[in-house]
Amino acid sequence: MKFHNKEAIYLQIVEMVCEKILTRQWGAGEKIPSVRELAVSIEVNPNTVLRAYGFLQEKEIVQIKRGVGYFVSKGAFGATLAFMKTKFLENDLPLFFRSIRLLGIDFDDLQARFELLEESDERNENK
């Protein structure tokens, strides 16, 4: 996994797990990689993964079954969607709006770009 300096690594891991849930790669009740397995696969300290999993437990996105491992919670999809939507609206959207204002980009430009992106996504899905 490639990390960036703008956000703590454990939060980037949280985002990765949330993306897997929102794209339905990991479903409710499914076992997820152990702390050690994930740490090795993304090349981070196990304590960093443990911190991410603890954060996700607090948000009721994952749960631990002692002696068995970590699992996606039953209501994880809804909890993840709510968490990520709030995060986007509070953190990313204000920066986005600031950038478009500074760059003089209007909503017509944004709509045209969005439509191009939608068309591209549709073409990629039909392949």
Q: Is the pLDDT of residue 122 over 90?
A: no
Token pair for 50: 């443990």
Question: Once rounded to an integer, what is the mean pLDDT over residues 15-35?
Answer: 97
pTM of the model: 0.83
Would residue 23 count as lying in a domain?
yes
Q: Is the pLDDT of residue 125 over 90?
A: no
60 backbone φψ class: left, alpha, beta (φ>0; ψ -120 to 50): left
Question: Once rounded to an integer, what is the mean pLDDT over residues 96-109?
Answer: 94
Domain assignment of residue 19, given as a range: 9-76
Would residue 85 count as lying in a domain?
no
Would residue 36 count as lying in a domain?
yes
| Secondary structure letter of residue 72 according to DSSP | E
Would residue 38 count as lying in a domain?
yes
CATH at 30: 1.10.10.10
SS3 27: coil
From the CB of residue 15, how many other CB atoms can be counted at a distance below 10 Å? 15
Instruction: Please give the tally of structural domains in the chain.
Output: 1
CA-angle at 113, arms to 107 and 116, nearest 5°: 145
The pLDDT assigned to 6 comes to: 83
